[in-house]
Amino acid sequence: MNFEAFHHLASQIARRLRARGEKVAVADGATGGLIAASLLTVPGALDFFVGGGVVYSFRARDVLFALPREAYSGMRGASEEYAMLQARAIRDNFGADWGLAESGSVGGSAHPSGAPAGQSVVAIAAPSGMTVTCMVQTGSDDRIANMEAFTRNALEAFKDALDAAGPV
């Protein structure tokens, strides 16, 4: 894993969030905590990072999002709709301005919803009501490489969303 590249992206995100006086909560899925870990490489991360968790089981999903199982009715993991529901829920449950969620299939084993290995969706819920989703498909079953690609995709999408949100 190239944490230096992740740290560089995280530093850019931190500058933008601090300038806006805003904070983010993160729901890592197939990234296994690497999105949050990347943001926490920035000294003083408490200024912009509220918290989050790794959503790797139905139990973790139930605890972090406090949504009834019916809220997921008809949704599949690693989909835009599923990731956006999680981005909004993590933002709201943690009292953050921004919610960032990733849902994907890293490979090495079958995904419960049948999502193909190498597919990840990141969803971002902004305080303004703006929403962004971004899918990446690596076409690979390489678990570690996919975790790295999914984390990079999430951080880049979040940086771009902050830029698109413009000045406060």
Write b or e for each residue in 55-90: b if 16 or more Cβ atoms lie within 10 A of its Cβ, otherwise e: beeeeebeebbebeeeebeeeebbbbebbbbbbbbb
Domain ranges within the chain, ordered by starting residue? 3-165
For tokens 């413009």, what's the residue?
Answer: 166
pLDDT at 108: 65
**Tens-digit pLDDT profile for residues 129-142:** 999 999 999 999 89
Residue 27, sorted as left (phi over 0), alpha (psi -120 to 50) or beta, turns out to be beta
Residues 3-23, mean pLDDT to the nearest whole number: 94
**Tens-digit pLDDT profile for residues 51-105:** 999 988 878 888 888 888 888 777 777 789 999 999 999 999 999 999 999 999 8
Q: Find out whether 37 and 64 touch, Cβ atoms under 8 Å.
A: no
Average pLDDT, the chain: 90
d(CA 168, CA 84): 23
Per CATH, domain 3-165 is 3.90.950.20:
yes
With 0.75 as the threshold, say if the pTM is over it. Answer: yes
Q: Find out whether 9 and 155 touch, Cβ atoms under 8 Å.
A: yes
pLDDT at 109: 62
